[in-house]
Structure 1
Amino acid sequence: MVLVSSSIFLAVTLLASLIGGHETSTDEKSKVLILTEDTFEQALTSFPLLLVKFYTPWCSYCKALAPEYETAAEQLAINDLPLAEVDCSVDEDLCTDNDVDSFPTLKLFRLGIPNLYEGPRQSEAIIKYMRRQALPTVTHLTDKDELEKFTRSDTLVIIGSQQHENDTFGTVFTTLAQQLRDRYLFGWLDAYNKTDLILYNNHGDHQMEDIYTGDLTDADQILSFIRRHATPVFGEIGPDNYLDYEQAELPLAYLFVDSDTMLASFRDTLQSLAKDYRGIMNFVYIDALAYPEQAEYLGIDTSNNNAQLSLWPAFVIQDTKSRRFVLSSTKSEEVDALSIETHVRLFFQNKLVPFVASDPVPESNTDAVKVVVGSQYHELVTMSDQDVLLEVYAPWCGHCKALAPVWTRFADLVQQQQYPLRVAKMDGTTNDIPPDDPATFDVEGFPTIVFIEAHSHRIAFYSGNRTLASLAAFIHEQQQQQRIMLELPIDELDEQKDTTLDDNHDHSTDEHKIDNTEQPLEETTTTTTTTTTTTPFVHDEL
């Protein structure tokens, strides 16, 4: 069995003369190589495979990574796989040249070509990643004994074989291996195998086999199959594996628990459900005490102060449209094995009502700018007899704050002239636009301004200059059937002439963009509308 290309280990004898060790806090020689502007290029030439950490001494996340990185370097030194680091507070230009814009940044250089490392920042994950990188893209296996050993050498191992003559499958398999080698291990059985493509999942105590039965020449279909079966049957979700669940593009069922004892009481039920719905829905458990923000985002009211009412366990299904279906004691619902089974069955029967994030309905809503909350979106926007001009904003957004007085003045003019338009605003960080609503739309940044036509629910996004004149021009363009025009003050008419050219600028680029990298979990949660997401476990500092 061919495991490692010998070219990976060229020039290891240059290690000491090229870099030299440095003293750790315990005065022991560190295995992490220190690179500078003078030695960086030479290192890339000398080491065909080199992982480099770009960091700054003041970065708290860099400090947390340091011992993990050192441990990984010590273990990988056994395999002659070097790890290196660059202090960006010293070699700023070097870091800039390597497109480093956050700390820490880890990049793998293969024959001098960089590839961003996006995996967990624990030593075990880094070690596994580097050893995987040292293997051939596809490891060729010659017999069943090699197959047995190889399929247990990583968390997820993908094996192809040539049961039938199909040169295209071999090409597709190799291409996918090149694309996914950062995360999975690929092997090819030259001898006869019972199927052409099998995934060996080694999460937990027992190995599970997922057999692919689709088109062997369809790379997209194979990729989808891999991603849908890359996760444990029922496992814990966290910063190390959220990407697997995101890329699966399947509904995700969360069990929130606050103790191992509570988890144990549900494990058999959830394991059974997960096997029944394998490849259709993923099931996970999550530490409710460690990630309360995720519970809030998914629709569980953690503010309940009733000491007699325990928040946990709770169960939530989030579908691929980011709709959330909550089963929680805070909704006076019993959460047990039977209710979870029923909840899942009703989900697939489309009989559950999704949770919609919403602020409380305002006690008074008589101002010129109408306040829209999630629970009233359908009433105030979708069912409005008048066209609606809606701003979705964030309280912390600087552009939103700058727009606020203009928006209020525009609404005052509309109200004073009894112009047929409803001007409204909605806090996009605490309210959802119902995803199945006829007037739904995606929010990708703040502020987002949309015109929603009454009855037809036609939606037009506004990206012009944020002035009264430009807003009025946009409305007149959308309401061409209207015989009356919104009258502006004289100074605004003069401004309209001055801003004609400026309206050619796409102000959508001025928005505070929302990172739509999909779900799970984050220490700081950002809620958006419609395609509501939380940025996954962000830990980088600028």
Structure 2
Amino acid sequence: MFWFVDGEKSEYSGGRTAVEIKSWCTEMTGPAVKEISSRKLAEEQAGTKPICVYEGPEASTDFEEIAARKRTEFTFYHVAVDTEKPTVSVQHKSEEPVACDDLTFDGLKKCLDDNTLPLFGVLDGETYEKYMTSGKGLVWACLEMESSDDLEKVADEYRPLIKEVAEEFKDQFAFLYIDTIQFKRFLEGVLGVTELPTLAVNKKAGDKLKYLYTGEMTAPKVDEFLKNVLDGSIEPTLKSEPVPSSQDEPIHVVVGSTLVEDVFQPDKDVLFEVYAPWCGHCKRLAPEYEKVAKKVAEAGLDDMVVLSKMDGTANDSPVESISWEGFPSLFYVKAGETEPIKYDGPREAEGMWEWIEEHHSNSEGLKERVAAGKAVHEEEDSEADKGEEL
């Protein structure tokens, strides 16, 4: 659900019952700026939403207008102060206030947009969407705790360190902490975090590539690590199964560490499946996929095309062009090319083979090889029939 003010959309942030929705809408249609007697009282109200405080004789028209538009993201207060130079500041819970230098509507909007997220905040159900749509990279602080109740206490222990680093990198990264007990499976399966404490870094929110730091937790060391991530001087941390000791099956098995070598081949086209062991669609595809692989092997066409597969739950892709949101995901890479084609053809053997013939980098050559193979088999069958007649 969304809330619109003068055509501008913001996300509904209330509860899901009729009473909660009504209460939220009532609050949204009341005064956008709340009068309060002191800044200290306003600071005590900082919680899930940050506060924005105007200190001056009367709140300006620009402040009231921006408050009406941003009230789903911030709580706005006016503290009556007799001064010729009003001030506006934004403050998140457990952090210092940030002053807005430009008190015009555009200046206030920029200040609020720049400070929507805290320097170091929690990622949970309420804040997930904000972090994922922030347009920044993410630094996940995965910290050791005895129980979920310790989350804020442990985060506060690391807050001085993260704050120092975040001040330098706040334009590139949003810094967050997460309940490592509640979300243990997510941290291991998606971020590849297996020891604590760890800083997991995505260059952009939602990116599958991650960089894991488990070294000394000091500002200079973390600072150096983030600079190396940004300038590309370190490689992403890849989750990869061991390289198979043998390849005895018609379908070539790929792992994270061999993906580039196995999938981007100079002289062969490759059809590449990313699957999950628990995926029902993958299980239905498996026998059809194997039929095509056997056809390639039996026809002696494995010098022209390879069928391969990788467990996407146990391996990462080191290249952005091979990424997936669901299973199975199939990619077709032509010989000598670096950009895969997302396979969108049939999921049964005959249709898959016809698709490969049409899209092969040497389509005519492949068809000629297939036709020649059929002719040889027909001739052999004919000779066998003659022998039986004699």
Q: Which has the higher helix share?
A: 2
2:309 alignment partner in structure 1: 425
How big is the shift at 1:382? 1.8
How big is the shift at 1:430? 2.0
1:316 alignment partner in structure 2: 200
How big is the shift at 1:447? 1.6
Which one of the candidate residues 172, 181, 185 is aligned to 1:293?
Answer: 185
Give CA deviations for 1:492-528 in whole Å, capped at 9, x if unaligned: xxxxxxxxxxxxxxxxxxxxxxxxxxxxxxxxxxxxx
1:326 alignment partner in structure 2: 212
Where does structure 1 lack aligned partners over 5 or more consecutive residues?
Answer: 1-105, 109-114, 162-166, 303-310, 491-542
3-state DSSP of counterpart to 2:224: helix
Which one of the candidate residues 245, 250, 264 is aligned to 1:382?
Answer: 264
Give the residue type in structure 2 aligned to 1:434.
P
3-state DSSP of counterpart to 1:361: coil
CA contact (8 A) 2:209 2:236 kept: yes
Q: Superposed, which structure 2 residues align to 1:100-249 within 5 Å?
A: 130=23, 134-136=27-29, 139-140=32-33, 153-154=45-46, 155-158=49-52, 173=66, 176-177=69-70, 181-186=71-76, 200-204=90-94, 206-209=95-98, 211=100, 222=109, 226=112, 228-249=114-135
2:6 alignment partner in structure 1: none
How big is the shift at 1:194? 5.2
2:280 alignment partner in structure 1: 398
How big is the shift at 1:335? 4.4
How big is the shift at 1:404? 0.6
3-state DSSP of counterpart to 1:433: coil
3-state DSSP of counterpart to 1:413: helix
Q: 1:337 to 1:484 in 2, by over 3 A?
A: closer
Which one of the candidate residues 277, 281, 284 is aligned to 2:176?
Answer: 284
Where does structure 2 lack aligned partners over 5 or more consecutive residues?
Answer: 4-9, 56-60, 375-390
Which one of the candidate residues 264, 282, 294 is aligned to 1:412?
Answer: 294
Q: 1:290 to 1:409 in 2, by over 3 A?
A: same
3-state DSSP of counterpart to 2:332: strand
Q: How many angstroms apart in 2 are the aligned matches of 1:199 and 1:129?
A: 30
2:337 alignment partner in structure 1: 456
3-state DSSP of counterpart to 1:484: helix
Q: Share of identical aligned residues, percent?
A: 22
Q: How many angstroms apart in 1 are the aligned matches of 2:315 and 2:218?
A: 29
How big is the shift at 1:147? 8.1
Q: 1:193 to 1:153 in 2, by over 3 A?
A: farther
Give the residue type in structure 2 aligned to 1:293.
R
Scaled by the length of structure 1, the TM-score of the pair is: 0.53
Give CA deviations for 1:271-327 in whole Å, capped at 9, x if unaligned: 21122333432223344444332432465553xxxxxxxx43222222203421111
CA contact (8 A) 1:138 1:187 kept: no
2:378 alignment partner in structure 1: none
Q: How many residues align?
A: 346
1:273 is the counterpart of 2:165: yes
Q: How many angstroms apart in 2 are the aligned matches of 1:214 and 1:146?
A: 20
How big is the shift at 1:237? 3.3
Scaled by the length of structure 2, the TM-score of the pair is: 0.71
Root-mean-square deviation (CA, aligned residues, Å) is 4.4
Give the residue type in structure 2 aligned to 1:363.
S
Q: How many angstroms apart in 2 are the aligned matches of 1:215 and 1:384?
A: 59
Q: Superposed, which structure 2 residues align to 1:521-536 within 5 Å?
A: none
3-state DSSP of counterpart to 2:331: strand
Give the residue type in structure 1 aligned to 2:334.
E
Which one of the candidate residues 362, 374, 386 is aligned to 1:481?
Answer: 362
Q: 1:262 to 1:390 in 2, by over 3 A?
A: same
CA contact (8 A) 2:242 2:255 kept: yes
Q: 1:176 to 1:118 in 2, by over 3 A?
A: closer
**Which one is further off, 313-322 or 365-374?**
313-322
Q: How many angstroms apart in 2 are the aligned matches of 1:265 and 1:291?
A: 20
Give CA deviations for 1:18-62 in whole Å, capped at 9, x if unaligned: xxxxxxxxxxxxxxxxxxxxxxxxxxxxxxxxxxxxxxxxxxxxx
Q: 1:150 to 1:458 in 2, by over 3 A?
A: same
Q: How many angstroms apart in 2 are the aligned matches of 1:120 and 1:430?
A: 37
Q: How many angstroms apart in 2 are the aligned matches of 1:397 and 1:349?
A: 38
Give the residue type in structure 1 aligned to 2:366.
I
1:466 is the counterpart of 2:355: no
CA contact (8 A) 2:264 2:338 kept: yes
Q: How many angstroms apart in 2 are the aligned matches of 1:316 and 1:246?
A: 15
CA contact (8 A) 1:245 1:282 kept: yes
How big is the shift at 1:360? 1.9
Q: How many angstroms apart in 1 are the aligned matches of 2:248 and 2:353?
A: 22
How big is the shift at 1:347? 2.4
Q: How many angstroms apart in 2 are the aligned matches of 1:402 and 1:418?
A: 26
2:377 alignment partner in structure 1: none
CA contact (8 A) 2:14 2:20 kept: no
Give CA deviations for 1:114-168 in whole Å, capped at 9, x if unaligned: x9966689xxxx98994685143762579x968886676443234799xxxxx9x
Q: How many angstroms apart in 2 are the aligned matches of 1:435 and 1:120?
A: 40
1:442 is the counterpart of 2:331: no
Give CA deviations for 1:335-381 in whole Å, capped at 9, x if unaligned: 44443232123223332211122222112123211111111111101
Q: 1:458 to 1:275 in 2, by over 3 A?
A: closer
1:529 alignment partner in structure 2: none
